[in-house]
Amino acid sequence: MTSAPRVRKAVIPAAGLGTRFLPATKAMPKEMLPVVDKPAIQYVVQEAVSAGLEDVLMITGRNKRALEDHFDRVPVTEQLLEDKGDNDRLAAVQHATDLGEIHYVRQGDPKGLGHAVLRAKTHVGNEPFAVLLGDDLIDERDELLTIMIDVQAKTGGSVVALIEVEPSKISSYGCADVTAIDGEGYVRVNQLVEKPSVEEAPSNLAVIGRYVLHPSVFEVLENTPPGRGNEIQLTDALQTLATREGEGGGVYGVVFHGRRYDTGDKLSYLKAVVTLACENEELGSDLRTWLGEFTAQLPK
């Protein structure tokens, strides 16, 4: 096993078209959809920063303005809140700006997640890095990214996050065929298949939106042809790395058993918002009471 430099940089692809959320995403990225009181992307940047990654690169598309504005100062509003002495709201507004150093690069054509990650090549350079997708939220009480960073440092390869799903749901995910490693809390990934049918799926282990990648993924992505959906798939590049020996080769998986909120489609998004709102300090108690009354009078 080789030892790798410690991960310092996070890449957050946010240039997808968000077609499953149209028309809400006609003029704004889906990563800006609010989850209770913050846009989804803020949870993700917060997660990266909490794992010690203070250099964040966001891959944006044509609607990038809302993203940049959200993490920038808003002097008129801040002054107004300060004049009113509304310190709680002022702190909430400033929190997004103070999270860390955020850089932006445009993807150009949204040719897939792999293509978006490749746009990070110059910024990342020759060091391992994390990729966090803005439509997957990991509960801040559950550890995942720091475990993945440790596994990357230990193995010198690339690391994916996996969850166990109902077999019938596997066709919505990348799927991993894995082998357990004696005495380790992570698994070796033998094969990855993007959105397989139930019959083709090698397991019920689904890849979710957290990755810690060896920089050799860039060279592989440059040579990865468009795959499923005519998009350059990160899964295809990882499949190449999974079967590669030597420097930067090997893909490992951390199976996550904690709380994850998928905000990538309408139904999951609504469930995520209700779940997190029910736990919210300010809103939770009233919302839970109302939900109980509301569901009790729904037709069976």
Residue nearest to ligand UTP as judged by C-beta position:
16
| Contact positions with ligand UTP (CB under 6 A) in 244-283 | 264
Is 275 in a helix, a strand, or coil? helix
Binding ligand UTP (rule: CB under 6 A), the pick from 1, 3, 19, 166 is 19
Residue that has been written with the tokens 């940047």 in this structure: 45
Binding ligand UTP (rule: CB under 6 A), the pick from 7, 10, 11, 13 is 13
| Most distant CA atoms of the chain, gap in Å | 63
Give the separation between CA 44 and CA 137, rounded to whole angstroms: 7
The smaller minimum CB distance to ligand UTP, of residues 155 and 239, is found at 239
**Dihedral (CA of 111, 117, 120, 125) sign:** negative
User: Could you say whether residue 115 binds ligand UTP (CB under 6 A)?
Assistant: yes
User: Could you say whether residue 208 binds ligand UTP (CB under 6 A)?
Assistant: no
What does the buried/exposed string (b/e) look like for 210-248 if buried means 16 or more CB atoms within 10 Å of the residue's CB? bbbbbbbbbebbeebeebeeebbbbbbbbbbbbebeeeb
User: Could you say whether residue 197 binds ligand UTP (CB under 6 A)?
Assistant: no
Shortest Cβ distance from residue 174 to ligand UTP (Å)?
11
164 to each of 140, 161, 255, how far by Cα in Å? 20, 11, 8
**CB-based contacts of 276, cutoff 8 Å, min separation 6:** 35, 36, 261
| Contact positions with ligand UTP (CB under 6 A) in 53-112 | 59, 107, 110-112
Shortest Cβ distance from residue 132 to ligand UTP (Å)?
9
The smaller minimum CB distance to ligand UTP, of residues 29 and 253, is found at 29
Binding ligand UTP (rule: CB under 6 A), the pick from 134, 156, 174, 215 is 134
Q: Which chain residues interact with ligand UTP by CB under 6 A?
A: 13-20, 30, 59, 107, 110-113, 115-116, 133-135, 264
